[in-house]
Each structure stands twice: as structure tokens, then as C-alpha cells.
């Protein structure tokens, strides 16, 4: 068992939109032998979309809107990648994914440096002490000075950095990268499909001058001296504690520097770590199976209206057809066809180990955050819903398709795409999201996957807050609900939600009703 645990590497790839996450995922799969040709996201000549973006809307826009799960074998290790959406409107999906991984790779664009979304995601990694590796992408385009970039990474992401490879020039004059970790030179030849040549070179020999030219060779020697002088030697312990991030340079599009990243990653990245449950800490090497659901996706296969719940195995061994306890419902469930993924292609499996992500067919029994065990009462936590920032009423645009619309809304809300509130006053359905793009995605998916048409009606609200009262003050809560009955709604779990239409109204309510608590996240 321990062998199986030690060879697992489960990580997420995170970044700001357009930094090159999906392209990097593709190239990693190329090395893992899972795909033969990587579909460069940008190039329209290759009519094959990126493997991890399989939904129609993703292919049209060239962005990822849901987290995809992929896995491959590499040098005896089993690697599980979770490619996350970069676009901030889908940040919630990414936050949830970060609860299911042991480490992360952050992709940074060499010209733009650290962007807003990267900061946000890094703060979640810091909160959870997740070790990170940074990949500086797009070195074959004109970008910023590597030293300036490293300073910015340190300041903005509040983490120590240590370069493990160093670029030789950049943009048009980009010659390659010197791999500090393995002490060898990798020369750059732009090729999207194949892998570049590697040469063992003594840094102080004339051989280096011949290969990259005298000027660049002198600059490289100077830079490396400076690197060794400024940055302390690389410590794997500090990386695992989340204090130092190793940095690699390269170009994912041209397949450069990616293998170095992967080679180093499988050696140093953590294997599955203990998981904190409400009751106790669960260790991966425990004999009994435990796991939690961190994501639900509807319609992976357009021919079958099915939902898949993604379960992260935390301890023990998951076995097909074995009876497991569903903690929230308190009933025993069995799974006859659990699957593992290569984006859309999936295979049925017989067993899975800690660190693996298993797809379980879901017929409406799962919610995000559900725990499965072999009988012990455990609850894994850390999957909050945040208070939405944008609200619209959803209306049925085709009365003949009411049933389809209901089903579509219900499944998409299970996925955690957005939140649904039902207004108690008029019974209208209100959808809350963190960004405008989500409304477009919901509308598109309802039409294309469920055959239902909807229209949106704007509503001006400031915040939706969950309301609860202190013990013994139930009357006060009732009085509040009567006074504000036009602004009261319920979420999917039937909890009271107050829809405040301005900041002033919310402050007044907090002052007038002292014994009520107003929460901005669903975990309280």
C-alpha cells in the first residue's frame, strides 16, 4: 500500500487567464504518452481542440470553464493533474479544486508578471500551506528581465523563490535554458510537437561559447554567479512546507522547459498528505477507505444525460462494488462502474489509492463536500460557498420546456456553477454568481445540453446573506422575516437568506436585530 501512496502525485495547475495553463497541461500529457499531438490552444490550423477543454462553449471561446481531471504514468510515478479555469468568474471551482490536491504549479506569463487572479489563488495555497512550483511561460516572446520577475514573484506572492533553471536571452534571441537542478544545457529549437536536444556542458568551457555565442555565454556565467550569490541553496524541506517556490523558465507552446519541470516535479513534489476532518486527522496509509466529493459535473458524455461526482481518495483503498457509507444521507452505497479520466475519455477501474480522483456516477445523491467512509462517522470540511456578487431572476422562455429547465437548473446548481435562491414573497427563482460570464455559460448550457431556453431579468441587490439566530431568540428571527418578507429567500438546503438591496439596509438590519447573525459564506 505504501508503495502505491508514494508513487502518487496529485496537483493542480493554476494561473491568471491566458498565461498558458491548458497548453502546459497538454504538453505534460504529451510526455505522459497520453496524446500524440498536442492541440495548441491558439492555432486554428489544428482543428483539434485542447484535450482538457471538451465542452462546446470552451472550444468556442478558447477558455476553460470547468476543472478537468487527467492522469498518466511517468517514470514509474502516477501523476493526477487537475486543470483549473483561470477566468475569475469561475474562481470558486478552482478554490474547491485546491482542497483536493497536494501541491500546485503556478503558471506566470513572462511579459505580464504576476496578475490579480494569481495573487488570489496563491493566498488560498498559503492558507492551506500547499507547496507550489512556478513555471515562467512564454520565454520565446519579449518579456521582462528574469531578475525583476523573480523579485516581483517574491513580493506579490509572499513566498521565497529559487530558480532551478535559467533562460539564455529571450524573445527572438531566445537560445534555451540552463538547467541548474541537473547542470545541463537545453538548446531551444522551436517545435510544437517534438522534444528539444539536451547537452551536457561544463559552464566554464569554450564549448558553451560555441553553442550559444560568446556574448550570451558570458551573460549566462554572470547571471548564474549572481543567482548562486543571491538565493540560498534549494531545500526540498522548505519547498514542502510551502516557504520556497522553485522556478522554471520555458515556453509551453514550443514544448520547451516542460520536461525539466516534470522531471523535477515527480522527484520533489509531495505524495498524498493527511487530510483534516472535523473529527480527526485522516492519514493516507490507514487501511480503511475514506474520501470526499469536491466537484460534480453534468453531461460529460453528450449522448447520456449523466452526472459524475469526483471523489478524492483520502485513505485506504477504494474497491469497485464495495459497500460504503454515505455520511450525509446515512445510507450504504455501492458503485459498479467507477471511472478514471483522461479529460473526456474515461475507463472503468477496479481499485484506486489515496491521492487518486475517482469519477462516481451520480443520480442525484451527492452534494459538494459529501464524505464516503467504510462506516466511521467522518466529515471533511473546507468547501465553502461564498456570497454571490451578481444576481438575476431566471425566467422560462419556452413554456413547453418547463420540465427540462427545472432539471437543467437543478443539475447545474449541483455542479456549483452558481447558487440558486427562491424568493419567499413571489416564489421566483434567483441565480447568484460571482461574474457576468457565468450567466452566459448557464444560458448556453441550458439550451445546448437540456434543450431549455431561459431569459434573464436584472435585479439590483447588494448581497445575499445567510441568517441565523442565537439560541432562544427564534421569535426575533420570525419578527425579522415578517418585517422583511419581500426580501427573504431560501437556498437549496432550505436555509433562510436575506437579500439586502444596499449596504445601508444591511447595516441597519444588523443594528436593529442584535441577536441575529448575518453570514457571507455558507459554512457557519
What one-character-per-residue DSSP string does 271-336 give?
----EEBSSSEEPTT-SS-EEEEEEEEE-SSTTS--EEEEEEEEES-EETT--EEETTTTEEE--S
Mean pLDDT across 402-412: 87
What domains can be seen in the chain, in order of their start residue? 2-268 (3.40.50.300), 288-373 (3.40.50.300), 390-519 (3.30.70.3280)
Enumerate residues 6+ apart whose C-beta is below 8 A from 415: 66, 295, 296, 297, 298
pLDDT band at 360 (very low <50, low <70, confident <90, very high): confident
Contact (CB, 8 A) for 134 and 153 = yes
Alpha carbons within 13 angstroms on the beta-carbon side of residue 12 total: 24
What is the DSSP secondary structure assignment for residue 50, as one 8-state letter? Answer: P
- The whole-number average pLDDT for the span 50-64 is 51
Alpha-carbon distance of 371 to 469, in angstroms, equals 28
| pTM listed for this prediction | 0.73
C-alpha cell, 515: 441577536
Interatomic CA distance for residues 113 and 271, integer angstroms: 29
pLDDT value for 301: 53
Tallying the residues shown for the chain, one arrives at 524
Residue with the larger pLDDT of the pair 491 and 60: 491
Q: Does an H or E element contain 69, and which?
A: strand 68-74
- And the C-alpha cell for 417? 456553477
- For residue range 3-48, list pLDDT tens digits in order: 888 888 888 888 777 777 777 877 777 776 655 444 444 443 333 4
pLDDT at 203: 67
Closest CA to 124 of 84, 152, 96: 96
pLDDT of residue 53: 53
- Torsion angles phi and psi, residue 238, rounded to 5: -65, -35
E runs forming strands in 389-462: 390-396, 419-423, 429-433, 454-458
Beta strand ranges found along 355-453 (DSSP E): 357-362, 371-373, 390-396, 419-423, 429-433
Mean pLDDT, residues 426-452 taken together: 83
213-225 average pLDDT score: 83
Residue of 237, 209, 223, 238 lying closest to 180 (CA atoms)? 223
Contact 353, 10 (CB under 8 A): no
| pLDDT over 50 (residue 63) | no
Q: Which three cell numbers stand for residue 221?
A: 556565467
Q: Is the distance from CB of 446 to CB of 453 less than 8 angstroms?
A: yes
Contact between 467 and 428 under an 8 Å Cβ cutoff? The reply is no
pLDDT at 340 over 60: yes
CB 216 within 8 A of CB 226: no
How many angstroms separate the CA atoms of 90 and 522, rounded? 17
The kind and range of the H/E element at 68 are: strand 68-74
**CA end-to-end span of the chain:** 37
Mean pLDDT, the chain, rounded, equals 79
Burial 198-233 (b: 16+ CB within 10 A, else e): eeebebeeeebeebbeeebbeebeebeeebeeebee
Cα–Cα distance between 99 and 102 in angstroms, integer? 8
| pLDDT for 302 | 53
**Cα–chain-centroid distance for residue 420?**
22
Amino acid at each position: 500500500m505504501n508503495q502505491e501512496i508514494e508513487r502518487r502525485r496529485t496537483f493542480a495547475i493554476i494561473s491568471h487567464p491566458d498565461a498558458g495553463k491548458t497548453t502546459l497541461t497538454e504538453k505534460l500529457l504529451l510526455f505522459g504518452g497520453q496524446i500524440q499531438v498536442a492541440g495548441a490552444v491558439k492555432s486554428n490550423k489544428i482543428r483539434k481542440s485542447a484535450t482538457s477543454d471538451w465542452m462546446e462553449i470552451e472550444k468556442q471561446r478558447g477558455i476553460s470553464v470547468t476543472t478537468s481531471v487527467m492522469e498518466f504514468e511517468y517514470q514509474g510515478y502516477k501523476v493526477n493533474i487537475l486543470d483549473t479555469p483561470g477566468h475569475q468568474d469561475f474562481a470558486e471551482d478552482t478554490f474547491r479544486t485546491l482542497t483536493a490536491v497536494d501541491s500546485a504549479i503556478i503558471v506566470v506569463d513572462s511579459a505580464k508578471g504576476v496578475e490579480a487572479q494569481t495573487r488570489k489563488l496563491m493566498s488560498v495555497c498559503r492558507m492551506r500551506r500547499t507547496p507550489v512550483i512556478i513555471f515562467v511561460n512564454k520565454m520565446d516572446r519579449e518579456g521582462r528581465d528574469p531578475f525583476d520577475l523573480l523579485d516581483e514573484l517574491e513580493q506579490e506572492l509572499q513566498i521565497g523563490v529559487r530558480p532551478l533553471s535559467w533562460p539564455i536571452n529571450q524573445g527572438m534571441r531566445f537560445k534555451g535554458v540552463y538547467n541548474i537542478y541537473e547542470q545541463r544545457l537545453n538548446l531551444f529549437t522551436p517545435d510544437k510537437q517534438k522534444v528539444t536536444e539536451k547537452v551536457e556542458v561544463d559552464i566554464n568551457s569554450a564549448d558553451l561559447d560555441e553553442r550559444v555565442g560568446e556574448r550570451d555565454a558570458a551573460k549566462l556565467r554572470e547571471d548564474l554567479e549572481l543567482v548562486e550569490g543571491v538565493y540560498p541553496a534549494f531545500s526540498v524541506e522548505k519547498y514542502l512546507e510551502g516557504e520556497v517556490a522553485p522556478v522554471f523558465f520555458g515556453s509551453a507552446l514550443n514544448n520547451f522547459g516542460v520536461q525539466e519541470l516534470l522531471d523535477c516535479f515527480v522527484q520533489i513534489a509531495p505524495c498524498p498528505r493527511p487530510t483534516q476532518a472535523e473529527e480527526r486527522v485522516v492519514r493516507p496509509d490507514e487501511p480503511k477507505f475514506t474520501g470526499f466529493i469536491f466537484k460534480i459535473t453534468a453531461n460529460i458524455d453528450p449522448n447520456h444525460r449523466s452526472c459524475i461526482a469526483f471523489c478524492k481518495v483520502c485513505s485506504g483503498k477504494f474497491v469497485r462494488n464495495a459497500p460504503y457509507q454515505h455520511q450525509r444521507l446515512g445510507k450504504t452505497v455501492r458503485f459498479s462502474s467507477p471511472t478514471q479520466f483522461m479529460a473526456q475519455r474515461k475507463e472503468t477501474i477496479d481499485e484506486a489509492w489515496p491521492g487518486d480522483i475517482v469519477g462516481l456516477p451520480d443520480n442525484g445523491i451527492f452534494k459538494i463536500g459529501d464524505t464516503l467512509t467504510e462506516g466511521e462517522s467522518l466529515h471533511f470540511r473546507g468547501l465553502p460557498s461564498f456570497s454571490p456578487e451578481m444576481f438575476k431572476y431566471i425566467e422560462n422562455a419556452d413554456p413547453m420546456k418547463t420540465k427540462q429547465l427545472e432539471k437543467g437548473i437543478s443539475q447545474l446548481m449541483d455542479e456549483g456553477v452558481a447558487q440558486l435562491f427562491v424568493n419567499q414573497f413571489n416564489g421566483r427563482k434567483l441565480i447568484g454568481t460571482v461574474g457576468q460570464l457565468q450567466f452566459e455559460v448557464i444560458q448556453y448550457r441550458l439550451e445546448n445540453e437540456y434543450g431549455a431556453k431561459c431569459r434573464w431579468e436584472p435585479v439590483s441587490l447588494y448581497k445575499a446573506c445567510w441568517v441565523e439566530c442565537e439560541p432562544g431568540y427564534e421569535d426575533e428571527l420570525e419578527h425579522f422575516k415578517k418585517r422583511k418578507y419581500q426580501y427573504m429567500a431560501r437556498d437549496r438546503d432550505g436555509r433562510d437568506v436575506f437579500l439586502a438591496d444596499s449596504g445601508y439596509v444591511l447595516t441597519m438590519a444588523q443594528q436593529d436585530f442584535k441577536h441575529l447573525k448575518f453570514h457571507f459564506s455558507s459554512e457557519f
